[in-house]
């Protein structure tokens, strides 16, 4: 089949195109401004990428199917031509993945407000390190495994990041509904995507829909510490395995500790924890990933990967524990016998997830994809423990469709108060929001100031860069950790600041 991807240079679209190519289809696509690294990866795979969008060109190419990403909407020239003429079949990216990649596979779908990319990477990495050849699709750029997508062996699981965002302008269902989970990982659940969901209950509703399509011989791997997930209620139609810090969980995270360092140049300091499977130690982990949140990501990934390997050995048995729902309960094989955890010590993480860009005895620069208050707070707490005595500087760009509004503003103010100083960047596309709907950076500055946190707001990110450079690079005060939080480019100021710091 000849498949055309609209917006093919995006991370998700590009990796999906690579999977379709690996599955034997003829693949081509277009994007507005063809850009690396994805354009280079696609070219190496023999995929033709056209610059810009042209309905006449699309007509001449005559693909059997057009895949439309959820960033595309009405008014797009090729979409309008498709709708006017109905000459070509079109579908959403998640629907294409279901039809051409996931159908017939044992799919492991990783979901949650936070940590999806890292947990997906960890799950695929652990399966590979334990001798399997899983397929996977990761919504970011991992260091481990070595690529963002891989078709894998048909007999092995397929691990995919399950986003709750909508599928396309014509399909408002969450993407993960298309992914036919055999194992669904529910890492956490909070209100986000205010442009899609009305409130927390609305987000819970779509997660509930996901749980309804997990088969009775499948699993839900649940964060047992998350109240918003527990509020989904009993899920008696499938098997639920809980993961968390509490003793009531099937897999428990215990003895978490993060190594403090006074030398910023050793920014790869370790964290450690133990995983206990139903009362028996599975393994002790020492690795370079920061924070309890990453330990939880690892625990969720280990549990899901272990269950994927154990699936043929799982049986239903007589009830043994009162919290189980219905007349039967889980009788699980011993997961430590099936999955080794040693490889976690070698896991290098994902680009733009607490990624250290520069580290000297006086200054460490870190980039993080964080764009939700909880993600910012957990990262800042981790760095406070990891870098005691250093000035902790948070630089935040209100960019996502939710962060740029007032929906989570109070939460951002609380999270950013964990830093010593804060630089707030320009609100992305501020002109498209009414003043009473827009993230109010000046109000956040006032709130932070009342808590003795030095804070600055900027309407221009280049002005932010100038002020930050003057404050951080020319200062002779104590050592400093600068953390950039953004889910976008931050108008290019991050590499500029990093280059200036390295040459200072």
Beta bridge partners of 174: 166
Name the pLDDT band for 328 (thresholds 50, 70, 90).
Answer: very low
Lowest-pLDDT range, 299-308, 315-324, 366-375? 315-324
**Upstream peptide bond of 448 is cis (omega within 30 degrees of 0):** no
Mean pLDDT of 92-105: 96
Predicted TM-score (pTM) of this structure: 0.92
Are 154 and 24 a contacting pair, CB within 8 Å? no
The answer regarding whether domain 2-92 maps to CATH 3.40.50.720 reads yes
Task: Determine contact, residues 455/395, Cβ cutoff 8 Å.
Answer: no
Average pLDDT over residues 25-31: 96
Q: How does the average pLDDT of the chain come out, rounded?
A: 92
pLDDT at position 7 over 90: yes
pLDDT at 369 over 70: yes
Q: Look at domain 104-246+290-332 and name its CATH class.
A: alpha beta
pLDDT at residue 317 tops 80: no
For the chain, the residue count is 504
**What's the CATH superfamily of 355-503?**
Mur ligase, C-terminal domain (3.90.190.20)
Domain definitions of the chain by residue range: 2-92, 104-246+290-332, 355-503
| pLDDT value, residue 87 | 97
Query: What pLDDT is recorded for position 325?
Result: 42
pLDDT at 490: 95
- Smallest Cα–Cα separation from 368: which of 347, 342, 389, 399? 399
Which has the closest alpha carbon to 301: 114, 120, 107, 115? 120
Query: Residue 463: its pLDDT value, please?
Result: 97
CB atoms within 10 A of CB 319: 13
Confidence band for 286, pLDDT divided at 50, 70 and 90: very high
Between 452 and 140, where is the model more confident? 452
pLDDT above 90 (res 114): yes
Averaged pLDDT, 301-320 = 72
pLDDT band at 11 (very low <50, low <70, confident <90, very high): confident
Percent of the chain scored above 90 by pLDDT? Answer: 85
């Amino acid at each position: 089949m000849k498949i055309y991807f609209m917006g093919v240079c995006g991370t998700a679209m590009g990796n999906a195109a690579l999977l379709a190519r690996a599955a034997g289809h003829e693949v081509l696509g277009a994007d507005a401004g063809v850009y690396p690294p994805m354009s280079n990866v696609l070219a190496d795979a023999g995929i033709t990428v056209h610059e810009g969008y042209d309905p006449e060109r699309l007509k001449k190419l005559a693909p059997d199917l057009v895949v439309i990403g959820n960033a595309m909407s009405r008014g797009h020239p090729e979409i309008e031509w498709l709708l006017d003429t109905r000459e070509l079949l079109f579908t959403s990216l998640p629907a294409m993945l279901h039809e051409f990649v996931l159908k017939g596979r044992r799919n492991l779908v990783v979901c949650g407000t936070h940590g999806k990319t890292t947990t997906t990477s960890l799950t695929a990495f652990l399966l590979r390190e334990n001798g399997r050849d899983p397929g996977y699709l990761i919504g970011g750029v991992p260091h481990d495994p070595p690529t963002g997508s891989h078709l894998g062996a048909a007999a092995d699981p397929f691990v995919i990041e399950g986003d709750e965002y909508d599928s396309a302008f014509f399909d408002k269902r969450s993407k993960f509904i298309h992914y036919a989970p055999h194992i669904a990982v529910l890492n956490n659940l909070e209100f986000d995507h205010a442009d899609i969901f009305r409130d927390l209950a609305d987000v819970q509703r779509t997660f509930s829909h996901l749980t309804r399509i997990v088969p009775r011989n499948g699993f839900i791997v649940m964060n047992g510490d998350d109240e918003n997930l527990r509020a989904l209620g009993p899920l008696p139609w499938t098997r639920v395995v809980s993961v968390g810090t509490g003793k009531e969980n099937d897999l428990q995270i215990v003895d978490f500790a993060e190594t403090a360092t006074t030398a910023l140049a050793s920014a790869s300091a370790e964290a450690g924890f133990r995983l206990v499977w139903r009362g028996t130690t599975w393994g002790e982990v020492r690795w370079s990933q920061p924070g309890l949140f990453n330990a939880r990501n690892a625990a969720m990934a280990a549990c899901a990967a272990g269950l994927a390997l154990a699936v043929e050995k799982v049986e239903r048995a007589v009830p043994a524990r009162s919290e189980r729902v219905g007349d039967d309960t889980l009788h699980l094989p011993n997961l430590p016998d099936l999955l080794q955890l040693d490889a976690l010590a070698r896991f290098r993480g994902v680009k733009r997830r607490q990624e250290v860009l520069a580290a000297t005895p006086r200054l460490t620069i870190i980039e993080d994809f964080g764009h939700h208050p909880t993600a910012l707070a957990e990262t800042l707490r981790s760095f406070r423990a990891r870098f005691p005595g250093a000035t902790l500087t948070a630089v935040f760009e209100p960019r996502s469709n939710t962060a740029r509004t007032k929906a989570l503003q109070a939460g951002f103010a609380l999270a950013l108060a964990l830093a010593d100083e804060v630089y707030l960047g320009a609100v992305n596309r501020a002109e498209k929001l009414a003043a009473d709907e827009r993230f109010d950076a000046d109000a956040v500055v006032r709130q932070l100031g009342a808590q003795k946190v030095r804070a600055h707001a900027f309407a221009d990110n280049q002005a932010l860069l100038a002020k930050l450079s003057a404050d951080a690079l020319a200062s002779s005060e104590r050592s400093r950790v600068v953390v950039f939080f953004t889910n976008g480019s931050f108008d290019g100021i991050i590499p500029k600041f990093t280059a200036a710091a390295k040459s200072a």
